[in-house]
Structure 1
């Protein structure tokens, strides 16, 4: 049974210059979320009890009216979080100017193996530089990882040891087609996930919640898993950059924010129609008590 919707992931833009090869984004299109659509979405979400929003992208720092997006949500009595890949001077300045208005800021980074796989340059060290440059109530470093080494994990642990930054991890999630293109089998990929978790566990205290998340991902991706996938049980809704509400970023069922109020309420308060997939499990970590569920790391 789905949980009551309490938070919302908001796509501020349908495009991103980083363009990770393993990107979690459900929507890929040009254009930014406009203020009128966003305001209407906030109003409808607040009516069903949504308490906080997480602004993601694309890249939210590129939205021309980002500060107004933050202020509007706060005017509706909602807490606001941001997930970003901000690294350039202009992006960090934009983020720093509004950081005091945010409940938390998550800066995304990739392990060396993930950077090679996704053709990115988002190092953990540069993410920490961004977090050090801003004043936020809570700072989170989110690392997407693949093919971790002992030395890399040791360096990462040393990097965050003297900071107040919380560290979150997500394994790279790849579909079968991408695995074949990269020369990996599904079974080999699952073995690598276990090896990476083992190395991480030497340097970081992995919570039972995170281990349960890894177990769920393995079950969903296992070629012998079979059976019917569980129904969505996330308390996080999704707002696309073109103004559609979904219970899951990857869900097929949606309703426009321009629909009648009653239709939107039925959609958001009724049982979710979507099934859990590896992609959405990676975003939502569907447990209701997982703090990352209120601000999924997708940037």
Structure 2
């Protein structure tokens, strides 16, 4: 049996201007998600029992009809959250215009090592500034990290101290096909991640679920053990309207397909198996709390 879907991650654009060097984004195309495709997707998701959607990128605040995307989801009785890299005045203004309709906003940031690796400028300080500029029930700083130092971790803890901002952590995943700028092996990258985890744990209280995720990640990357089938309760909808159980999955169906075929797809057992990239997306309870 398949896992019943309760939420859906929806890509608002097939392109992304941030273009992180370490990005393993599953879909790359031109253009924005159209309202016609989006409305049909919402209708099919509602029929499948989906209760909430998360708008992601490209960059959601660049969508010319962002407000309509949010309102349409509410018309279908769904809660709406967003993952964004908003930093500019125009992006924050677009975010502020829909803040009263959002249940959660997650702002992405990168550690200094990750910024150097991915050629990005998404600092934690600018992410916190964006989160403090909007009024939403829940705020999350999502930090992609690589080669962190204790001083940087302490600064991050100071940034969120006394705020209602939660911190979510994701290590950069360097695999054999990924960017190997340092010339190291996969074993080296795993050891780097473990050193980073130790540094983060000095200022943050890492949840048992997050530590379990890191253990699973190590096994997936270093062992020959067969990956287990996808059990995600979150669907993925591409900007072109393809519905999958995972952004990285190969098994999917377009929202333009007949209703009966979509129902059959969503009710059938998952064919995709969990890998390091998708495990980072649908791991449960992965947030870390700043130490008291």
- 1:10 matched to 2:15? The reply is no
Alignment of 1:181-196 (within 5 A): 181-196=181-196
CA shift for structure 1 position 221: 1.1
Match of 1:33 in 2: 33
Per the normalisation by structure 1, the TM-score is: 0.93
CA shift for structure 1 position 132: 0.8
Match of 1:238 in 2: 236
Alignment of 1:77-226 (within 5 A): 77-222=77-222, 225-226=223-224
Q: Which one scores higher on RCO, CA 8 angstroms, separation ≥ 6?
A: 1
- Secondary structure (helix, strand or coil) at the match of 1:178 reads coil
Superposition RMSD in Å: 1.2
CA shift for structure 1 position 227: 2.4
Mapped partners of 2:231, 2:2: distance in 1:
4
Mapped partners of 1:181, 1:110: distance in 2:
17
Per the normalisation by structure 2, the TM-score is: 0.96
Which runs of no fewer than 5 residues in structure 1 stay unpaired? Answer: 293-299
Mapped partners of 1:291, 1:172: distance in 2:
15
Mapped partners of 2:161, 2:121: distance in 1:
22
- Secondary structure (helix, strand or coil) at the match of 1:158 reads helix
Q: How many residues align?
A: 287
Match of 2:54 in 1: 54
CA shift for structure 1 position 24: 3.9
Choose which of 248, 251, 254 in structure 2 pairs with 1:250.
248
Alignment of 1:69-80 (within 5 A): 69-80=69-80
Which runs of no fewer than 5 residues in structure 2 stay unpaired? Answer: 288-292
Match of 2:260 in 1: 262
Match of 1:295 in 2: none
Question: Measured at CA, do residues 141 and 180 of structure 1 come closer, stay the same or move farther in structure 2, by a change above 3 Å?
Answer: closer
Choose which of 274, 278, 281 in structure 2 pairs with 1:280.
278
Whether the aligned pair in 1 keeps the contact of 2:9 and 2:236 (CA below 8 Å) is yes
Whether the aligned pair in 2 keeps the contact of 1:243 and 1:256 (CA below 8 Å) is yes
- Secondary structure (helix, strand or coil) at the match of 1:267 reads helix
Whether the aligned pair in 1 keeps the contact of 2:107 and 2:127 (CA below 8 Å) is yes
